[in-house]
Every structure is written in structure tokens, then in C-alpha cells.
Amino acid sequence: MIISRETGIVDLGHFETESGEVIDNLKLQYEYVGYKGQPLVVVCHALTGNHLTYGDDEHAGWWREIIDGGYLSINDYQFITFNVIGSPYGSSSRLNTPNFPEHLTMRDVAKANILGLKQFGYEKIDVLIGGSLGGMQTLEMLYDGSIEVKKAVILAATEKTSSYSRAFNEIARQVIHMNGQDGLSIARQLGFLTYRSSKDYESRFSADDVVSYQKYQGNKFKEVFNKDCYLTLLDVLDSHDIFRGRDDVEERLLQLETKVLTLGFADDLLYPDDQVRALGRFFKYHRHFYVPDNVGHDGFLLNFGDWAPNVYHFLKLYKFKAR
């Protein structure tokens, strides 16, 4: 058998957003990799990520180490990742779509993912997984319920965007509005302070080095990302609240047969472990793992040996007791 890998764009046609705005022909950039016919893993990426979960030999994807490391083995699964709408990496956004919606929400992103999966003919997801904004998409897709999900893994995400996160997001908006693309550098530097713990900074940098590091990360980011797309995605992030306008959340989620694993990371300033763990009350079958020694919120992108074995063992379990 030969591993298949392809990237491309799927056209989904007329798409109405939660606000009532319309994208005439929604486009989703995607990456597919794996063996056809194997159990399907749907990976949802985070705020400034992209669809390149696996990547290629020249440019490894952002979770390539998870897959090649055997935690989610390429020999056991097939993988698909959609680039979030509004992102600058190929899906419909302000960069490539005239009259792109002014208001985009997490529910729009989840709806687009589901439409993309159905367009490919998938009727069941074996593993639905995502961290941070990806975990929020995962939660919304579980609520939707139109595609069966056997197992789900939610990392560093909660039932709604935290007030702490929204406060930093608003500062980032103001900086970008005042300084344009240059403001994107400052917004990124600000974001890094919330993605990593103070312990991580103290262990890695001297007082002088940290200034250079922050500026380097900010300037690198403004060269590859677009300010208008970033503003769109901040709106998506801020919109996340599984309960917003709904009174049936617990009822719908508790009806699911999906086995759910949540992971919280030590010193996560944005989504503390206790709030991640609290998602378990929504699910009939739930397990939680606390990652005690990591870098903070960005732990789901780093130090895979600290937490990925727990994902591996969870996916191998076949017997679960309802709580």
C-alpha cells in the first residue's frame, strides 16, 4: 500500500454565516494524508495554524512529530485537516474573497468543516482532535452531531473563550488598528506572553535575550500573516461560547456515544486545567489528563513525549464505563 498525500481546495458553493452574511462559493484548503480506507482522523488547527498537519519532506507539518512518532501512526489512520475560513492560507478569507463577511464565528468554522467532510463523502469520524481554537471547533462539531464521532480529543480548550483571552485579544485589535501590519508584530509578541508560562521564559531567556526573542517572533509573524485575517480570527475566537443562545447543550452532548479525552496544561494562562477538565460534565464517556510540567498553553504544540502517550493509550481503549 502507498501512502496518499494531497493538498487542494474543495468548493462548497453558497455558504450563509451565522450573522446572515453570504460567501458565494466557500473554498476550503485542505491536506489529506494516509492510507485510504483506514480509520479517519480529523485534525482541527489553532488560531494561526494551517492545514499542513503532516507537511512534506522539505517542510514538516506542525503535528508531524505526533504522527511519525507513532502516537497517531500514519500506518493506522488517514488524516484530513481543513484550513480555517478567514485564515490567509488558502481558504476563503479577506485576501481572496470579495465582500468577505464582516462577522465570522466559531460556529461558522465548524459548519464549514462539516460541509467539507460531507463533500468528501465521510459519514463517520473515528478521531476528532484539536488544541486551543482547534479544540473549540471540536466541541462545536460534537454539538452539531450530524457526523458520528467515535472518539474526540480536546486539548487546552474550554466551553467558552476566557475573559483573560478576550482582554488580550482586544488589546491586539487596538494595536493593529493603530499601526496596521506593523501592529501585527506587537500583537504577536503580546500573544506569546499568554501562550507560554513565566516559568518557561525564566528558564529559557536572560533579561536581554527575551527582548530580542519577542521582537524576532513578532517581525517573523508579520511577514507571513495578514492583519485583516488575524482580526477575523480574533473575532472567531472571541465568539466561542457553546452555550450562547442555546438551552440544549448538556442534553445534546450527554446523548452522544462519543468517548472524549480532555487534556489541560500546567500554567496555561488562557484555559486553566480545571476549566478544561470541567468539559467532562457534558459527556457520558470522559477521561481527563493533566500535563504537569510543560510550557503553558502552547504545550499541545511542544514536548509531545509529556502528553501524547496518553492520547495513544486513550485511542487504543475499547471498553469504557459511563460516568
Residues carrying an active site annotation: 132, 268, 297
DSSP 175: H
Q: Residue 115 in contact with residue 15, Cβ under 8 Å?
A: yes
Contacts of 158 (CB under 8 A, 6+ apart): 271, 275, 276, 278, 279
Please give the C-alpha separations between residue 58 and each of 72, 94, 303, in angstroms, as whole numbers: 21, 29, 22
Q: Is residue 136 helix, strand or coil?
A: helix
User: Hey, what's the cell of 23?
Assistant: 460567501
Distance CA 261, CA 249 (A): 18
Specify the residue for cell string 474550554.
158
Nearest CA to 267 out of 231, 310, 215, 303 is that of: 303
Side-chain half-sphere of 314: how many Cα atoms within 13 Å?
Answer: 26
Instruction: Give the chain's length.
Output: 323
Contacts of 245 (CB under 8 A, 6+ apart): none
Please give the C-alpha separations between residue 50 and each of 43, 85, 86, 183, 280, in angstroms, as whole numbers: 10, 10, 11, 22, 28
Side-chain half-sphere of 82: how many Cα atoms within 13 Å?
Answer: 28
- Cα angle 169, 175, 130 (rounded to 5 degrees) comes to 30
Q: Is residue 240 helix, strand or coil?
A: coil
